[in-house]
Structure 1
Amino acid sequence: MELMEISEFFSSQLPDAQKRKQILFAVIPSLIFVIFIVYKIYHIESQVEDFKRIITEKFPPEKCEKNWKFFQGNCYWVNKKRTNWTTSEKSCVQENAHLVSIHTDEENDFVELILGEGQIDGWIGLQLLDDEWAWSDESDTMYTNWKAGEPNENHGIENHAEMWNPGGQWNNNKETRKIRSICKKKAS
């Protein structure tokens, strides 16, 4: 009799098992789809975060004042007022900066670019002190980009450096020449 009861029990449960099987087969694809969507969202968010990090490393948010240009952790400003070297340096100091010191080819190219197009020269922070060329911000002078034949000192009267544009090469000149200038300071 026991076998008969077991058989009846399973027979009575069969329709419920088939219903559960149908429900399970209906729910599983939906569940797999939800898991797939969650995975994709997480993966996309992860990629977006990676992209943001890369962009921030390559192009940090500008931390320069209005009219100043950001480049490699520094801010640069072209003073279009034509002044002599000393007045140009004083103008930069009033802005908590110095005339630009240049330390790489890339920085030199950037300064040439912002100086402007055409025959526009500009003071840079290099000056002759005690027979040594020195930057007004006291940084190292390992990098130079003198034009061929420069600096020539011209009988001791050309003690300050300018950038020639176009070309970005440097020339020494009289402090009294009135040209544009480029200031540089650390980005905040």
Structure 2
Amino acid sequence: MFHTQYKCSHIVILNKTFVKIKAQWDAILLILLSVILLRKGRKQKTIRTAAEEGNTNINDMDSITYDRFNATENEINHTTPKYFPEPGRQNRKMYIIYGVLVLYMLILTVAVGIKISQVSKEVADVTLSLQTFETSIKEASKPLQFEKLPEPVVQGPCEVNWVFFKDSCYFHSTAGQNWQNAENMCVRKKSHLVVVNNLDELDFLSSIVKLPTSYWIGLVEKDEGQWSWVDGTDYKASEHFWDEGQPDDWNVRVNGEDCGQLHGRIRADKRRFWNDADCTLSYPYICEGKPKGQ
């Protein structure tokens, strides 16, 4: 019902606009017709006047010729002067009238053109509005689709705020610490900075961290080029998941880059790889420990 009323109201507006335009054009045609009739009437009047004056002149000439033989010389010399119409003055008046009419027609033509462009714009706007309205109705008629929420992280046999995955418990902080303080915080929780053993564990860690930043892990370079895990796991025998171009041991840093972290750069597959960073910088961290009772 609303859609029909909306459409009808715009059609009424368009009809009124077109009626105004038609009335203007009718006025133009009426003016042109009046000018033509006026010009025709003037021509006929001019012809009749000229004919009458011609007859009068002939009669006057006969009278003057006749009187010349009876009148004195002074009477002949003081004969009343005759009036001859000036066609140039009448032509100038007609040109002025035509010029005014042409100017008026030009103004009306421009006004009609503007009206037509406005009507075209209104038609386009009405069409777009109707299309948008119909699209919104179609969208509203579709059944609601609820986004699937992520599965809750299972706490399992872990402490509060810890999550369980493959026989280990994991805790990720929200506050930042330097690498050594982060390891000390994990030790206080009877754990250590996380040791990433395989790709499944890397994907799990990438899914639980929420901050768009890097996280300290239990990887440290004690000697140049000699990386090791804090729990004693053999680094060379385990899989490595360094990000592209890492480790780069950026020499611009005064303290070098000797500590590993889960990189803040997230790839298209939502996976975070490793990065080396200055150990004195403050970052959140991930702890790894055993379940309760072990």
Normalising to structure 2: TM-score of the pair? 0.42
Measured against aligned partners, the alpha-carbon deviations of 1:163-187 in whole angstroms (never above 9, x if no partner) come to: 1132311110000111110000122
Give how far 1:61 is off: 8.4
Q: Residue 66 of structure 1 corresponds to which residue in structure 2?
A: 160
1:77–1:182 contact (8 Å) kept in structure 2:
yes
Larger radius of gyration: 2
Question: For the residues of structure 1 that align with 2:239 and 2:171, how far apart are their CA atoms?
Answer: 21
Aligned pairs for 1:1-188 within 5 A: 62-116=156-210, 119-131=212-224, 132-141=226-235, 142-155=238-251, 157-165=256-264, 166=266, 167-188=271-292
Q: Residue 9 of structure 1 corresponds to which residue in structure 2?
A: none
Unaligned runs of 5+ residues in structure 2 are 1-153
Measured against aligned partners, the alpha-carbon deviations of 1:126-150 in whole angstroms (never above 9, x if no partner) come to: 0001231111111232111101111
Q: How many pairs were matched up?
A: 128
Q: Residue 142 of structure 2 corresponds to which residue in structure 1?
A: none
Q: Which has the higher strand share?
A: 1
Normalising to structure 1: TM-score of the pair? 0.64
Question: For the residues of structure 2 that align with 1:81 and 1:138, how far apart are their CA atoms?
Answer: 26
Question: For the residues of structure 1 that align with 2:155 and 2:205, how far apart are their CA atoms?
Answer: 19
Residues 186 and 153 of structure 1, relative CA distance in 2, 3 Å threshold: same
Runs (4+) off by over 4 Å = none
Question: For the residues of structure 2 that align with 1:104 and 1:139, how far apart are their CA atoms?
Answer: 12
2:171–2:286 contact (8 Å) kept in structure 1:
yes
Q: Give the 3-state SS of the residue equivalent to 2:195 in structure 1.
A: coil
Residues 149 and 115 of structure 1, relative CA distance in 2, 3 Å threshold: same
Question: For the residues of structure 1 that align with 2:259 and 2:285, how far apart are their CA atoms?
Answer: 12
**Aligned residues: CA RMSD:** 1.7
Residues 173 and 61 of structure 1, relative CA distance in 2, 3 Å threshold: closer
Report 1 or 2 for greater relative contact order, CA contacts < 8 Å, sequence distance ≥ 6: 1
